[in-house]
Amino acid sequence: MKRFLTAVTFLVALTDRGMAFPELGRNWDAAQDQEELRASYNFEGIVALSGCSGSLVRFEDSQDSDQALVLSNGHCVKLIDPGVVITNQAANRSFDVLSPSASRLGSVQAVKLLYATMTKTDMSLYLLKETYSDIQKKFNTRPLTLSRTSPEVGTSIEVISGYWKRGYSCEIESEVSGLKEGNWTFEHSLRYSRPGCEVIGGTSGSPVIEAGTRTVIAVNNTISESGSRCQVNNPCEIDQKGTVTQYKKGYGYAQQTAWLYTCRSENGQIDLEIDGCLLPKPKK
């Protein structure tokens, strides 16, 4: 496997901790002026992890005393087979916390992988050892807030990468009913407008933020690198019958995050058995 999605080059098989390696220099010259790329974006709440990006997030009703959460992609954990869902798995993974100007402030530690899958969506959600209050006191950093509602087409967005310490700006161009990439199929994906969000390796897991807010509406996960039909790193759009309707080089996509709210219990825990939960469940 040469490379998966927008995130990383796999030089070796992924371990269970998702060790991955970004493809340096292929799509972006690392020597260009990083300060210029950072200047227009606020990196508060953004984190970096091995080979991927992520963000500190909270639900609208989260309390400061709650253990904090980190959002990223399922494939930033490991390549998860179609139909497989990981829940409540012990985790030992650290995340670098960035300042508003993208300098490293320190790290936080995951104790549990609450949820991860590459079926229907491409999402991972980690539970940290630290509370939101702990992180505020130690780093003076606030989390981003997960939106309860799905975004509208035409919404101006920012995709902010903790790994590369840079951002992208564009709009949501379309909601795609089906997106096929290799053996994986995602549903209700969000396609980016062009130019603006030509994401590259290492940006996987970046939060998609409604411009001018601190609200996360999706998680960045893939782009068609060469325009090949429905291959890894080259997703294609499909209809409900599985018929290919669109595949073009440079089309990038994100996965919606509002579904998380449909799977929360009264005490705020992720419960996939709740009526109306839109996230895929583990096979029994």
Per-residue model confidence as pLDDT tens digits over 113-166: 999 999 999 999 999 999 999 999 999 999 999 999 999 999 999 999 999 999
75/13: higher pLDDT: 75
Angle at 93 between CA 28 and CA 29, to 5 degrees: 5
Q: Give me the torsion for CA of 205, 173, 258, 75, rounded to 10°.
A: -30
Does the pLDDT at position 223 exceed 90? Answer: yes
Topology of domain 3-23+42-146 in CATH is: Thrombin, subunit H (2.40.10)
pTM of the model: 0.90
Alpha-carbon distance of 168 to 203, in angstroms, equals 10
Q: Is the peptide bond before 100 cis (omega within 30 degrees of 0)?
A: no
Comparing CA positions, the residue from 97, 125, 94 lying closest to residue 110 is 94
What residues does each domain of the chain span? 3-23+42-146, 156-258
Would you list the DSSP string of 37-55? HHHT---TTEEEETTEEEE
CATH no., domain 156-258: 2.40.10
Residue 82: its H or E element? none
The domains spanning 3-23+42-146 and 156-258 adopt the same CATH topology:
yes
Q: What is the C-alpha separation between 68 and 48, in angstroms, rounded?
A: 15
